[in-house]
Amino acid sequence: MQTELSKTLGVEHAVFGFTPFPAVAAAISRAGGFGVLGAVRYTAPDELKRDLDWIEAHVDGKPYGLDVVMPARKVEGVTEADVEAMIPEGHRQFVRDTLAKYGVPELAEGEASGWRITGWMEQVARNQLDVAFDYPIRLLANALGSPPADVVARAHEHDVLVAALAGSARHAVKHQQAGIDIVVAQGYEAGGHTGDIASMVLTPEVVDAVDPLPVLAAGGIGSGRQVAAALALGAQGVWMGSIWLTTTEAELPSPKLIAKLLAAGSGDTVRSRALTGKPARQLRTEWTDAWDSADGPGTLPMPLQGLLVADAVSRIQKYEVEPLLGTPVGQIVGRMTSERSVQAVFDDLTRGFEEAVDRINRIAGRSGQ
């Protein structure tokens, strides 16, 4: 599954795997793909340094990258405390009432939330980059549009390619104009923040719009047949995230959450603003239903919503309150029916890819060539 882009980056397969877990990122690269570590959860530079050190020691010299979340524009002088002060008391009460309804215990006195989204505040992301550029990362990806121009320039100075996610051809063209090297065309089926256009439509639109920039197809991809389809649509690789959540190397904290993922079908996700304030595909739960209900107060814009629910999400996860327990995940969750190693996923991808290519060759009368 090689393309011009995968050859440029020195990887065997044009499979780019996004994950918040260092062990998964390293395993993806060792298996011949390109592991991309999500940095949004790292609020302290030392934590990121620790995990990049671990990846360096376990990646067997294979290339890998980092995914940050930073806006192209910022508001000067705004602190996390300033943002917290903007959250209405009515929304805070709604959180308290919902948690009380399901009997969710409080965190222990002095215990901080383990789920904060300060990684989406620009200065935190910049601190992450100060650490990351001391490592031989080959790719910097940004999930909130094009990163600031000085970040793109800094990455290029370090010989690091820059990728940005796009949910429309219009967004992709803006990335191209901003000097981005790779566009990730993320379809509606994807987990996490995603737009309104499905992958089958979006991928060729973006490929045509930004030619000759390489494009990665994302959203609902979890089999070799789908990788073959993405390349047939003009992509130079695929960007996969959800499929790694149920790998044995992943570090999901909750056995109940893993069980919910394994049992879920492709129709058991919802695009909701409940988690961050922007539409993000995730497991549908009674928590998302509460926020999306007409009886609720409505969600707040990013980053207010994420700060509002941070402690609640930590409590739900820690105490494994099953009706409320969820995670960002794409519609491919319906194919995630067993725990497998990252290598087993790659074995399935390559086998399925070869079968799909052989099938098309037979249809085209090229069998045996």
Please state, in angstroms and rounded to a whole number, the distance separating the CA atoms of residues 10 and 2. 10
CB of 163 within 8 A of CB of 68?
Answer: no
DSSP state, residue 120: G
Owner of token pair 């948690």: 99
**pLDDT tens per residue, range 180-195:** 999 999 999 999 999 9
Q: What is the rounded CA–CA span in Å between residue 292 and residue 49?
A: 38
- pLDDT digits (tens), the chain, 369 positions: 899 999 999 999 999 999 999 999 999 999 999 999 999 888 889 999 999 999 999 999 999 999 998 765 555 556 667 778 899 999 999 999 999 999 999 988 877 665 555 445 677 788 999 999 999 999 999 987 888 999 999 999 999 999 999 999 999 999 999 999 999 999 999 999 999 999 999 999 999 999 999 999 999 999 999 999 999 999 999 999 999 999 999 988 889 999 999 999 999 999 999 998 989 999 999 999 999 999 999 999 887 898 899 899 999 999 999 999 999 999 999 999 999 999 999 999 999 999 999 999 999 998 655
Tokens for 249? Answer: 């190397």
| The pLDDT of residue 273 | 95
Q: What is the model's pLDDT at position 119?
A: 47
The beta-carbon contacts of 5-12 under 8 Å, at least 24 apart in sequence, are 5/182, 5/214, 5/216, 5/236, 5/237, 6/34, 6/236, 6/237, 9/34, 9/63, 9/138, 9/139, 9/161, 10/62, 10/63, 10/138, 11/62, 11/63
SS3 189: coil
User: How far, in Å, CA of 34 to CA of 28, rounded?
Assistant: 6
Q: What is the pLDDT of residue 227?
A: 98
What pLDDT score does 107 carry? Answer: 86
Q: What pLDDT score was predicted for residue 114?
A: 58
DSSP output for 190-251? SSEE--SS-HHHHHHHHHHHHTTS-EEEESS--SHHHHHHHHHTT-S-EEE-GGGGGBTT--
pLDDT at 121: 66
- In the sheet that holds 280-283, the strands lie side by side as 192-193, 280-283, 269-272
Q: What is the pTM of this model?
A: 0.93
How many CB atoms neighbour CB 295 within 10 A? 6
